[in-house]
Structures are given as C-alpha cells and as structure tokens.
Amino acid sequence: MAKALFIDTSRCIACRGCQTACKEWHGLPAVPTRQRGTHQNPPDLNPFNYKLVRFTEAKTAGKVEWLFFPDQCHHCLEPSCKGTAESFAPEAIVVDKKTGAVVYTEKTANLTAAQCKEIQQSCPYDIPRRNDKTGILTKCDMCIDRIRADLAPICVKTCGTGAMNFGERDAMLAMAHHRLGAVKVSHPKAQLVDPEDVRVIYLVTNPEPALKKQGKQAVESYSRRELLGGLVSPFRRMAG
C-alpha cells in the first residue's frame, strides 16, 4: 500500500534527533562545520545530509516566532526529478511500486554534471544534491530498506514529540487534516503543503517564512497559489 509521512512542524522542538538519526542510519560521514550565528547546521542540505532542520525567525503581529522545518524530499506523486531523468537515464531514478518512495540509484553516477543540474533544477523543493567526487545524486530514500522490513523510517522512529508520523497515505492525509483543524485555532495561517501532490505532507503554522529557506521555487509556488487562490487547479492548491 502507498505510504506517506506527515510532518507536523507545530510539534517540532528542533532537537535535530531526526537529522542525526538519518545520517547514522545511512552511514553518512560528518561534515566539517563552524558556528554561523544560527542553530541551523549544516547551513544547507548536502550529499551527506539528506535531512536538515531549518530554523527561521519570523515576526507576526509584533511577536517574534522561531519556526522549525525538518526539510527533506517530499516524495512527489508525479516526481519532476524522475520525469526529467526519463529522457537520458530512465533507470537512474525509480519509484518503488509498493510504497511510492522516489529512490535515486547508483546509476545517477553515470549522469553528466549538466544532466544532474537539470534534475536538481526541476525539483520544486530544491532537494537533490550531487556528490561531486562520486557523481552520485543524493536525497532521502524514505528509508526504503527499513520499510521493506516493516519498520518506520528512522526519522519517525527517533522523533519523540509526534512531529514525524508514518503510515498508509490515506491515514496520514486524514491525520494531517485533523491536526490542521486543531492547529488553526491558535495559528490561523496554518496550512498543509501540497497535500494532494506528495507523500511527505507538511503542516506549517506560518507558511511563507517557513518555506522561504527551503528553495526559491517553493516560495514562488506558494506565493503564486496565494495570489491565484481558487483560480488554480485544486491539485496544486494548499489545503486549509
């Protein structure tokens, strides 16, 4: 059955347990880093960090808010990264039939730097990163090895606050809409991010600043939807 994650950022306390557990499960090495005046560390996704908790400060009605966003691949239902790879390397990116997870294979190493760039630029959420040494294109694989062994993705297993959830897609969608109703009482701007288009459904309390650092296209996409409101296709609208 098709799987999904529901990430409720209103419950995220930015402990970064998910980020660290992801590195450990995938055997990814540490990345040299330094203090940059923010708790967001490393500063961006990279070939050794498939998951990154983003920190954003926002001012709402005179009050400063600290927004946490555990960023990762959204496992799109119709992944534009795979669509782009289709013409030059159809087997480099695969969609797992059982779960719907979008998985990058080692065959991405055969792609040229220009082809990788094309794939990267096609992602609306600015997710894939290229390892320039090996040529491999990287991102979250939904812990497909764990799912096949009837285990939840390691980020979900690690999260102690209920921010990370995993299960059948219908159940995750229902949970997301239920939580949205509750969260909207205290955060009227709360939204689900593209719930009909993805297998990783985010609930954000303050969408524009929360998504800003996730990628230019994501913000433009969000702003466009805000402007067009009901005129856009229901498949591209945020719920809420």
Q: Where are the alpha helices (DSSP H) in 73-112?
A: 80-85
Q: Provide, rounded to whole angstroms, the least separation between the CB of residue 14 and ligand SF4.
A: 5
The answer to whether residue 18 forms part of the interface with ligand SF4 (CB under 6 A) is: yes
- For 130, the enclosing helix (H) or strand (E) is strand 129-130
Give the x/- contact pattern for ligand SF4 in 25-64, rule: CB under 6 A: ----------------------------x-----------
Other Cβ atoms closer than 10 A to 127: 23
One-letter identity of residue 31: V
The answer to whether residue 92 forms part of the interface with ligand SF4 (CB under 6 A) is: no
Report the residue from 52, 67, 81, 238 that binds ligand SF4 according to the rule CB under 6 A.
Answer: 81
The answer to whether residue 76 forms part of the interface with ligand SF4 (CB under 6 A) is: yes
Q: 104: Cβ–Cβ under 8 A, 6 or more apart, which residues?
A: 92, 93, 128, 136, 137, 138, 139, 141
Residue 184 to residue 191: CA distance in whole angstroms: 8
Among the listed residues 223, 189, 221, the one whose alpha carbon sits nearest the alpha carbon of residue 205? 189
Give the x/- contact pattern for ligand SF4 in 155-194, rule: CB under 6 A: ---xx-x-xx------------------------------
Q: Segment contacting ligand SF4 (CB under 6 A): 121-129, 185-193, 203-211, 229-237?
A: 121-129
Q: Segment contacting ligand SF4 (CB under 6 A): 36-44, 73-81, 214-222, 229-237?
A: 73-81
Bond prior to 42 in cis (omega within 30° of 0): yes
Q: Provide the CA 217 distance to its chain's centre, in angstroms.
A: 14
Per the DSSP assignment, residues forming a β-bridge with 63 are 60
Q: Provide, rounded to whole angstroms, the least separation between the CB of residue 127 and ligand SF4.
A: 4
The answer to whether residue 67 forms part of the interface with ligand SF4 (CB under 6 A) is: no
Positions in the binding site for ligand SF4 (CB under 6 A): 12-18, 53, 70, 73-76, 79-81, 102, 123, 125, 127-128, 139, 158-159, 161, 163-164
